């Protein structure tokens, strides 16, 4: 294997994942002991480290996987290996700069992009380089793209746009009008998530077609129907985050209507459930297959939750509570992370076909991960329900009293957060080994 | 391989055109209630709100962190207001560290929260929940 840059991306991504979890665990400990480290590393300092590391995990793992699939599985000649290396170096250096920015409190940015806004320039440049390499490579190598190539291309293009949009607040035209500014901020954040979902869901379809050895999964009309449905949601479905913001009502009507189209996705999942499970060819990629099965489960749970709180009458009670956190954790860990681990196992197996991946320890880690995530998720739902009850039903007691009443769920959230960390570390061990051995050879 | 990608390219073109138009309208649409633009002092307060990562723990309109309370209407809530806000900034509380803001900075933060308060209501207790699942929120100018 001559081109090792995709593996560098993947190792970088795994490092971000585990560092991010450490930051997250330290921060969440402050829910249990509010005075703990609050003057030295307060929650407000740790949260940007956690959020940026975890979004980096998703984005870097998706990027590395796509580069690997194109160059090493499809065996397309990459348009420019130099651009690919430059892309990696840019992201690596910017990552280090962002950590410094957080450590020394250069945090003029906003939620999810708290770092100094100037650091968005190299990030954008990296995405542009990725886009040039991606589109040029595919243009010369392939006609009639399967749906995952469309999804990756869309993800890259929309990522560039929404990263810029997330910084429109730098202009007074937006900034001075609080409601418009706030709406655009949450529009861009919602669509930023939609953009990385395009990359990650494209990876899941790619893996399914490769594991099943069935190209029809990625080329039939139904696959394209769901792609365009997802794209429509990415473009117009963001405003359910802002139902309670006094924007023009039509913005919220559009969001409500678009969000409800996701019932079609749910119906399809239920309809195809048995068929997809039975048809999968699992022998060659046992762990990649198992993680995709876990994805199926987490999509099912999360889409029900998302659909429910896209209904304004339900959103009214769940908005601003931990139920929203349960959804974001459920999707980033339950869906994005399981798909990306499936990709990592697929790649590791591709690099070292004889290496046994589904060892007893890895299997134990896989089961522990899913159980921990489930209890973690349920703890947040209960904490959110209690907060909502305090806000809209009892309306009694102070905020601090309400927080004290949900400490048992924070304890459970913290303990099973450790469970997720340890189990993923166990699961990731053979992947680390396979990648590092390949880099050394 | 897809044998005929033309219909998909056509759908993509339509979606992109709609997206462009939609964005143009969103960017040029103000909030439902006409309010004053943020004053220079409020902008300074907003900068402090961002650079001190207040959003990590606090929310505005239910968006932000979960460790502290929502601040949308902290300025106008009975029993709270400017002095209440400044007291918390001076001393910190529980997991909130003590911030060492100057008097001018505290005024800027209070001014920002005042102007945010003027834009609307959260939690919107007087909103009407309709049978269609829609929620008709109550606006500031309907008080």
> Do residue B27 and residue A182 have CB atoms under 8 angstroms apart?
no
Q: Which residue of B has its CA nearest to A111?
A: B55
Number of domains in chain B: 1
What 3-state DSSP class applies to A365?
A: helix
* Residues A333 and A264 sit within 8 Å (Cβ to Cβ): no
Cβ neighbours for A179, distance < 8 A, ≥ 6 positions apart: A245, A246, A247, B30, B31, B32, B33, B35, B119, B120
Whole-Å CA distances, A201 to A30, A160, A335, B93: 34, 18, 9, 43
* Residues B75 and B81 sit within 8 Å (Cβ to Cβ): yes
Instruction: Label residue A384 exposed, middle or buried (CB < 10 Å: 0-12, 13-18, 19+).
Output: buried
In this structure, is residue A261 part of a structural domain?
Answer: no
CB atoms within 10 A of CB A329: 21
A34 interface with B at CB cutoff 8 Å: yes
- For residue B128, the 8-state DSSP code is E
Distance CA A113, CA A163 (A): 9
Instruction: Label residue A378 exposed, middle or buried (CB < 10 Å: 0-12, 13-18, 19+).
Output: middle
In this structure, is residue B8 part of a structural domain?
Answer: no
> Do residue B22 and residue A236 have CB atoms under 8 angstroms apart?
yes
Q: What is the pLDDT of residue A281?
A: 59
In this structure, is residue A309 part of a structural domain?
Answer: yes
CA A424 to chain centre: 16
* Residue of A362, A384, A377, A373 lying closest to A419 (CA atoms): A373
pTM: 0.95
C-alpha dihedral, B25 to B27 to B29 to B30, nearest 10°: 170
In which residue ranges of chain B is pLDDT below 50?
Answer: none
User: Smallest CA–CA separation between A126 and chain B, in Å?
Assistant: 23
SS3 content of chain A, % helix, strand, coil (to 5): 80, 0, 20
CB atoms within 10 A of CB B113: 26
In this structure, is residue B14 part of a structural domain?
Answer: no
User: Smallest CA–CA separation between B5 and chain A, in Å?
Assistant: 6
pLDDT digits (tens, 9 = 90+) for A336-382: 999 999 999 999 999 998 888 889 999 999 999 999 999 999 999 99
In this structure, is residue A408 part of a structural domain?
Answer: yes
Instruction: Label residue B67 exposed, middle or buried (CB < 10 Å: 0-12, 13-18, 19+).
Output: buried
In this structure, is residue B108 part of a structural domain?
Answer: yes
Q: Which of A111, A141, A171 is the last residue of a domain?
A: A141
* Residues A281 and A211 sit within 8 Å (Cβ to Cβ): yes
The number of helix segments (H) and strand segments (E) in chain A equals 18, 0
Among A109, A167, A178, A259, which would you mutate to test the B interface (most chain B Cβ atoms within 10 Å of its Cβ)?
A178
CA quadruple B12, B14, B15, B16: dihedral positive or negative?
positive
Tokens of A16: 């971000």
In this structure, is residue A31 part of a structural domain?
Answer: yes
pLDDT digits (tens, 9 = 90+) for A379-392: 999 999 999 999 99
In this structure, is residue B93 part of a structural domain?
Answer: yes
Q: What is the pLDDT of residue A114?
A: 96
ipTM for the complex? 0.94
Q: What is the pLDDT of residue A276?
A: 60
Q: Which of A125, A141, A157 is the last residue of a domain?
A: A141
In this structure, is residue B35 part of a structural domain?
Answer: no
Q: What is the pLDDT of residue B141?
A: 77
Q: What is the pLDDT of residue A35?
A: 81
Tokens of B118: 């003027």
Give the per-residue SS3 of A271-313: HHHHHHHHHCCCCCCHHHHHHHHHHHHHHHHHHHHHHHHCCHH
Distance CA A54, CA A72 (A): 26
CA B137 to chain centre: 15
Distance CA B42, CA B40 (A): 5
* Residue of B29, B140, B45, B82 lying closest to A187 (CA atoms): B29
Instruction: Label residue A314 exposed, middle or buried (CB < 10 Å: 0-12, 13-18, 19+).
Output: middle
Tokens of A199: 């990359």
Find out whether the peptide bond into A304 is cis, omega within 30 degrees of 0.
no
> Do residue A43 and residue B95 have CB atoms under 8 angstroms apart?
yes
Number of domains in chain A: 2
In this structure, is residue B70 part of a structural domain?
Answer: yes
Domain that holds residue B84: 40-119
Domain that holds residue A310: 282-441
In this structure, is residue A343 part of a structural domain?
Answer: yes
Q: What is the pLDDT of residue A132?
A: 98
In this structure, is residue A398 part of a structural domain?
Answer: yes
Q: Which of A96, A114, A141 is the last residue of a domain?
A: A141
Among B15, B46, B56, which would you mutate to test the A interface (most chain A Cβ atoms within 10 Å of its Cβ)?
B56
In this structure, is residue B99 part of a structural domain?
Answer: yes
Give DSSP secondary structure letters for A366-393.
Answer: HHHHHHHHHHHHHHHHHHHHHHHHIIII
The number of helix segments (H) and strand segments (E) in chain B equals 4, 4
In this structure, is residue A204 part of a structural domain?
Answer: no
In which residue ranges of chain A is pLDDT below 70?
Answer: 1, 269-271, 273-283
> Do residue B135 and residue A177 have CB atoms under 8 angstroms apart?
no
Radius of gyration (Cα) for chain A, nearest Å?
Answer: 21
CATH number at residue B88: 1.10.760.10
* Residues B55 and B127 sit within 8 Å (Cβ to Cβ): no
Q: What is the pLDDT of residue A441?
A: 79
A30 interface with B at CB cutoff 8 Å: yes
Q: What is the pLDDT of residue A278?
A: 46
In this structure, is residue B54 part of a structural domain?
Answer: yes
> Bridge-partner residues for B59, per DSSP?
B64, B70
In this structure, is residue A383 part of a structural domain?
Answer: yes
* Residue of A249, A206, A240 lying closest to A74 (CA atoms): A206
Q: In chain A, what percentage of residues exceed pLDDT 90?
A: 76
**Token pair 């950590």: residue:** A99
């Amino acid at each position: 294997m001559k081109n090792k840059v995709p593996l560098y991306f993947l190792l970088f991504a795994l490092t971000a994942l585990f560092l991010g979890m450490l930051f997250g665990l330290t921060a969440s400990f402050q829910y249990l002991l509010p005075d703990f480290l609050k003057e030295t590393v307060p929650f407000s300092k740790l949260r940007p480290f956690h959020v940026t590391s975890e979004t980096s995990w998703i984005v870097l793992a998706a990027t590395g996987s796509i580069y690997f699939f194109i160059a090493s599985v499809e065996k397309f000649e990459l348009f420019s290996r130099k651009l690919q290396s430059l892309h990696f170096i840019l992201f690596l250096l910017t990552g280090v700069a962002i950590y410094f920015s957080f450590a020394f409190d250069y945090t003029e940015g906003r939620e999810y992009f708290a770092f100094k806004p100037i650091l968005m320039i190299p990030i954008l440049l990296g995405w542009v380089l990725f886009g040039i390499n991606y589109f040029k490579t595919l243009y010369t190598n392939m006609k009639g793209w399967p749906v995952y190539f469309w999804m990756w291309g869309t993800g890259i293009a929309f990522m560039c746009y929404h990263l810029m949009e997330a910084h429109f607040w730098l202009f007074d035209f937006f900034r001075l009008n609080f409601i418009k500014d706030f709406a655009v901020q949450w529009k861009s954040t919602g669509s930023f998530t939609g953009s990385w979902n395009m990359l990650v869901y494209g990876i899941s379809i790619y893996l399914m077609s490769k594991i099943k050895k069935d190209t029809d999964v990625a080329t039939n009309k139904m696959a394209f129907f769901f792609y365009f449905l997802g794209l429509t949601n990415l473009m117009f479905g963001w405003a359910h985050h802002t139902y309670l913001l006094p924007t023009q009502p039509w913005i919220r009507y559009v969001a409500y209507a678009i969000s409800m189209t996701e019932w079609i996705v749910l119906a399809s999942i239920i309809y195809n459930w048995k068929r997809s499970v039975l048809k999968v060819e699992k022998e060659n990629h046992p762990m990649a297959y198992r993680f995709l099965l876990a994805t199926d489960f987490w999509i099912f749970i999360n889409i029900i939750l998302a659909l429910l709180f896209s209904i304004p009458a339900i959103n009214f009670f769940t908005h601003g509570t931990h139920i929203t956190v349960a959804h974001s954790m459920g999707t980033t860990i339950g869906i994005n992370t399981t798909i990306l681990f499936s990709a990592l196992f697929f790649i590791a197996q591709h690099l070292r076909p004889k290496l046994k991946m589904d060892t007893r320890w890895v299997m134990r880690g896989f089961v522990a991960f899913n159980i921990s995530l489930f209890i973690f998720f349920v703890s947040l739902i209960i904490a959110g329900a209690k907060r909502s009850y305090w806000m809209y039903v009892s309306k009694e007691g102070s905020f601090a009293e309400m927080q004290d009443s949900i400490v048992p769920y924070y304890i459970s959230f913290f303990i099973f957060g450790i469970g997720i960390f340890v189990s993923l570390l166990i699961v990731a061990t053979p992947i680390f080994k396979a990648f590092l051995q390949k880099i050394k050879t | 391989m897809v044998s005929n990608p033309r219909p998909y390219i056509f759908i993509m073109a339509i979606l992109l055109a709609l997206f462009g138009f939609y964005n143009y309208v969103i960017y040029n649409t103000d909030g439902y209630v006409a309010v004053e633009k943020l004053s220079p002092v409020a902008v300074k307060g907003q900068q402090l709100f961002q650079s001190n990562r207040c959003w990590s723990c606090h929310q505005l309109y239910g968006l932000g962190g979960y460790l502290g309370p929502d601040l949308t209407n902290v300025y106008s809530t009975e029993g709270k207001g400017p002095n209440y806000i400044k007291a918390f900034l001076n001393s910190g509380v529980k997991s909130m560290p003590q911030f060492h803001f100057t008097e001018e900075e505290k005024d800027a933060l209070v001014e920002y929260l005042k102007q945010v308060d003027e834009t609307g209501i959260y939690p919107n207790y007087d909103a009407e929940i309709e049978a269609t699942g829609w929620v008709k929120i109550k606006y500031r100018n309907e008080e």
